Amino acid sequence: MAFSAASISNTSRTLSSPSTTFSQLNNKISPPHFSSSLSLSPRSSPFRRGFFSQWGRRESLRGHVSSTVKAVLVDESKGKVKLLKGDMWSVHKFGGTCVGSSERIKNVADIILKDSSEGKLVVVSAMSKVTDMMYDLINKAQSRDDSYLSAVDAVFEKHRLTAMDLIDGDDLASFLSRLHHDINNLKAMLRAIYIAGHATESFSDFVAGHGELWTAQMLSYVVRKNGLDCEWMDTREVLIVNPSGSNQVDPDFVESEKRLEEWFSRHPSKTIVATGFIASTPQNIPTTLKRDGSDFSAAIMGALVRARQVTIWTDVDGVYSADPRKVSEAVILRTLSYQEAWEMSYFGANVLHPRTILPVMRYDIPIMIRNIFNLSAPGTMICRPAENEDGQKLESPVKGFATIDNVALVNVEGTGMAGVPGTASAIFGAVKDVGANVIMISQASSEHSVCFAVPEKEVTAVAEALKSRFHEALNAGRLSQVAVIRNCSILAAVGQKMASTPGVSATLFNALAKANINVRAIAQGCSEYNITVVIKREDCIRALRAVHSRFYLSKTTIAMGIIGPGLIGATLLDQLRDQAAFLKEDFNIDLRVMGITGSRTMLLSDVEIDLSKWRELVKDKGEVADLEKFTQHVHGNNFIPNTVLVDCTADSSVASCYHDWLRRGIHVITPNKKANSGPLDQYSKLRALQRQSYTHYFYEATVGAGLPIISTLRGLLETGDKILRIEGIFSGTLSYIFNNFIGTRAFSDVVAEAKQAGYTEPDPRDDLSGTDVARKVIILARESGLKLELSDIPVQSLVPQPLRASASVEEYMQRLPQFDSEMARERQEAEDAGDVLRYVGVVDAVSEEGRVELRRYKKDHPFAQLSGSDNIIAFTTKRYKEQPLIVRGPGAGAQVTAGGIFSDILRLASYLGAPS
């Protein structure tokens, strides 16, 4: 038989040695006789006279010899051209997408032509999809599928059409001749596979590598056509690798360097276009570099020539701080250390495979990731970090985040493990025996348990193997269980500066806790390049966004849903509109309103609602209101980890949802008093849930609109003070009425004036009944630790008994003057005593009671000196016993109430990580 293993890869490029039979390459195939001319036609590569130019080079940063040297020299004793190495060389790698069409190959040639480096070594993949097409040929032939012949013709046609669009004349004729020759040989090989029904790995590797050969040849012709000296290289003549198991190979750098120098002595050129992905074994049998083979080829070639830089051209702008499909605000990283790059790639980030980094790392050769479709993008540099980085101290210690999905945890636990040598070895030996890949390991120092993560598809086999291996220990009780926790994901934070920055772990776990995410397992190596946590799969994206926002961007982004776009809600939306840009720029607080709902209509947005025209959008694009759908939409958004619902209603049915929202990890802010003044048991459950989780419930505006009454009370209690009495004018409406109920004015006239000015509710009885004040009193009483129900508060109503059941507001207002004399008498009696009337609420913490009533105060009392609709609250405490602590200010109106809600929103942002 005339076909040989050496004929597949021979350093002379004329692959025709008849000494080795084809069966030595593929001992399971007995093909028909092949022509002895099965080869890649030798390429004419005459020695180029005059290629003895001086190549200048800069002082190397990596310890190379520094001087102006000749790039190519003649060894006078042997007459050979020698390859000099160093910074004069730049290496470019173009993947299949970059050379996927004739137009794209032309773009690649332009990049090569514009590179000012003295020496350019270009590594190319097969055209996009071609490698898959080649493996498909093999699979069809093995399956005895006759369509492999038409599939070969499709491969031929793809490259014929591409070549005809790129080159012409003798170059085109030469390439098409080689292409015809290769395709005919492929058909003969595939026919042999078809007959035998099997192909060895080396045979498959040889077939699969043709795509790179054709791309390299076409590109070299295009570069040469543009006037640049160029040769193409079949890297099977140069790259020698040894199989290392696990579907990987190890480069033989010594032999490869020797063969590169021999190749260069025959084909000296300033520009070399080399095939990626393919290589040879020491026995000259074709093989491939397996996963990410072309990137690996470029890194090896860069190391062999000691290049200044290796540029990997791809279809993305660089390496992102997180997967941009999961975190819309992920940013391009300008630099990564070698260690950071391989840590991120291990955890699934779209970065180079670790083995690609190792060859260049040996010589401190930087790798640049660039986007061929966006040349203006600066890309990402992977290199050794500079020793002096004092100017970058504000940079986040965490460079990026990555996740691995579809993971399961295995926990082997038992008191019999502690102090027993070899237990961990036995555990992982059993895992190795079933061929499972351990992604992460965590073990407590007590040795009571070993926890590790494996791909979910492998966990059943792992669990069965462990139960079989430790059958006796489980029965004897030395091991208590082999537990499996499914539906997990791994989140990793990566950064070389983590090792020198205190508090990184604390910040990470704090961000996860505040996003209401539970951590199931933790691992961190002593190098501190990464912190790895295992979380529920359903929490993965939310966790990724939470930590990315907290660390990398230092921006607190909150998804908001506004319930009740009435007077207060609308005012809040307008305030948010006016302040959004300022908060984002100056405080890194990004507040995004994702939904607005009233009782009938709601407006939802997948990104955020344009608050400059929210009223028009509600009218034009609103849909039927559905509170549960609204909640799901705002909380289930695709890119924001934190959610807050702002209830601007006075609706008890909305308030009844708070507990469920908090339980689901949704923060709640409200001026609605119904929840905190409702049944005591429900209030207690709500506050207990609030204290047990990192979900926040803020309600400052329930008592004093924009006044800091709740926060003042909490500050007193938290610092150890004891509340004795809280007394105040809590209603801006009633404050206005009694501030203006003076002289000879009728009470009904003042009420009508307040209603006309918008100070009262649409029905003034809602204010005059005292119920609203009673709710504020019960809220403050409960905040002070008193367990009171609303029904425990005696309330003096200012609505005359006969008018409490009036049919309409109009009837009430018409009949109210009939009762003016009674209020006039109260005022006269107070004035005769030198007092004024004020409607107040009182919390008596000593006697554990509260009340709402009309009381008299001396004219020099602070309560007597109010104006307009101001509120005033006096805190009498153990510390402030002689002189009560007074809080005074506007207590009514949409602007101040909305401002109080806004203040709570900003307080929430601060709790979630915004700068103070």
Q: At 284, list the tokens.
A: 């000259």
User: Cβ distance 31 to 196 under 8 Å?
Assistant: yes
List 55's β-bridge partners, or say none: 69
The single-letter code of the amino acid at 804 is: R
In angstroms, the Cα distances linking 111 to 194, 276, 313, 613 are: 42, 18, 10, 47
Token look-up 């009571």 returns 448
Q: At 374, list the tokens.
A: 């966006």
CA dihedral 610, 616, 622, 627 (to 10 degrees): 60
Counting Cβ atoms within 10 Å, is residue 250 exposed (0-12), middle (13-18) or buried (19+)? exposed
Three-point CA angle 39, 44, 47, nearest 5°: 140
β 271-275/530-536 pair status: unpaired
Q: What is the DSSP letter of 237?
A: G
- Is 776 noted as a catalytic residue in this protein? yes
Q: Residue 106: CB partners within 8 Å, gap ≥ 6? A: 166, 222
User: Cβ distance 43 to 52 under 8 Å?
Assistant: no
The number of CA neighbours under 13 Å toward the Cβ of 241 is 26
CA distance 111 to 128: 19
CA distance 449 to 447: 5
β 367-371/309-314 pair status: parallel
CA distance 244 to 228: 39
CA distance 395 to 551: 10
CA distance 248 to 613: 59
Q: At 339, list the tokens.
A: 């260690």
CA distance 358 to 251: 11
Sign, CA dihedral 158-164-167-168, equals positive
Q: What is the DSSP letter of 6?
A: T
**Left (φ > 0), alpha (ψ -120 to 50) or beta: where does 673 sit?**
alpha
CA distance 789 to 775: 10
In angstroms, the Cα distances linking 466 to 123, 431, 470, 552 are: 46, 7, 6, 40
Q: At 916, list the tokens.
A: 């103070």
CA distance 872 to 832: 25
Catalytic member of 120, 140, 290, 776? 776
Active-site amino acid positions: 776
